[in-house]
């Protein structure tokens, strides 16, 4: 087990158990980053007047969108005019994400108890992470293009603003 100053417990995991949890976490992180990219793309599209949302009682579009599942965000992207090829990529990422979050450990319960089984799990986690990650990477590029087109913010300017934000935050 790798200890950090933030560690709160010390489970007795084998190296492959640790790898399974690490790779599961990385795949879940990638799925969250995909969701975040879609929210940001939809926010930019609303700003540009290309889509509007029935926010009901929510005051902020971001709050409204942050409550949506990945599947609901994909539906909003389709409603906004996303092409079929992009929709297919997102649907594949959704299938991989849902399997990861709702079935992966349950369906691999027998595999988890052996070294070879955990090796099988690691291979599948790599595949899931790739399926989600390739789509996440593509849509992070779409997000950047939307920022440049609708807000006039380049990736360099966005990085500079983020770095400034981090400096101010750490000084506080």
CA–CA dist 131, 22 (Å, integer): 17
CB within 8 Å of 148: residues ≥ 6 apart: 154, 155
- Which pTM value belongs to this model? 0.85
Distance, in Å, from the CA atom of 127 to the CA atom of 121, rounded to the nearest integer, reads: 10
Cα separation, 161 vs 146, whole angstroms: 17
Q: What is the pLDDT of residue 37?
A: 95
User: Could you read off the pLDDT tens digit of each residue along the chain, which spans 172 residues?
Assistant: 567 777 766 778 888 999 999 999 999 999 999 999 999 999 899 888 888 887 655 557 778 888 899 999 999 999 999 999 999 999 999 999 999 999 999 999 999 999 999 999 999 999 999 999 999 999 999 999 998 988 888 888 888 988 888 888 888 7
């Amino acid at each position: 087990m790798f200890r950090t100053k933030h560690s709160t417990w010390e489970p007795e995991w084998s190296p492959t158990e640790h790898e399974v949890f690490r790779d599961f976490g990385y795949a879940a992180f990638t799925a969250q980053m995909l969701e975040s990219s879609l929210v940001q793309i939809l926010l930019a599209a609303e700003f540009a007047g290309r889509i509007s949302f029935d926010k009901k009682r929510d005051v902020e579009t971001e709050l409204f969108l942050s409550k949506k599942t990945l599947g609901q965000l994909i539906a909003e992207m389709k409603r906004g005019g996303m092409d079929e090829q992009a929709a297919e990529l997102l649907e594949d990422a959704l299938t991989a994400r849902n399997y990861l979050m709702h079935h992966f450990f349950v369906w691999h319960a027998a595999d988890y108890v052996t070294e070879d089984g955990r090796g099988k799990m690691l291979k599948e986690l790599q595949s899931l992470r790739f399926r989600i990650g390739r789509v996440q990477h593509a849509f992070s590029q779409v997000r950047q293009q939307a920022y440049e087109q609708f807000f006039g913010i380049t990736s360099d300017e966005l990085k500079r603003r983020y770095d400034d934000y981090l400096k101010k935050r750490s000084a506080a």
